[in-house]
Amino acid sequence: MSSWTNVPGTATVDFSWEDMFDEEAENPVELQLLLLEAVLKKYGDVKIDPEKEFSDAQLEIEFTSTGYCDPGKLSGPPEDCYPPEGDDERSLVTIELSTTSYSVIIEGDLADKLFAKYASDVDDVEIDESNDDGGYDPDDDIRWDDDCSDAAADAYERAYYG
């Protein structure tokens, strides 16, 4: 079994102004307004054409990962076998917004909302696991997705679907 604690990672997300419109939300333009407010808060009273300014925008989401991976034991006497399992919790560190002309560190409620909105992008980032001793080893070449997720899915399907 291997585990890791606070391993850093970065997800980069490209988006446009329209991507921040959420028709399913109670206030569909909330993210758009909050992003504009963040830029204006840092740069003062500037005139911004949102569709142009955010036409090629980018979020750099820095996070940490803490988790474990147990490859399980899939052969031998049944009483000694168990399926693979693992967990990988990602926590927000910071989000930086870059637009055509501006760069802003996003904080507070808006950062939490963007982290939630782009959780799948954050989850897709492969991180290096630590050694069994709990220390982070950047040269460790084991990947969560390769070693745990596929094996766990295969074991689950064999166990429950035959």
> Which tens digits make up the pLDDT trace of 103-140?
999 999 999 999 999 999 999 999 876 443 444 444 44
Evaluate whether 118 touches 61 at the Cβ level (below 8 Å): yes
Q: Residues 66, 116, 148, 11: is their CA dihedral positive or negative?
A: negative
pTM of whole model > 0.75? no
d(CA 56, CA 60) in angstroms, rounded, equals 13
**Residue 159 identity (one-letter amino acid):** A
For 121, half-sphere exposure in the C-beta direction (CA atoms, 13 angstrom radius) is 18
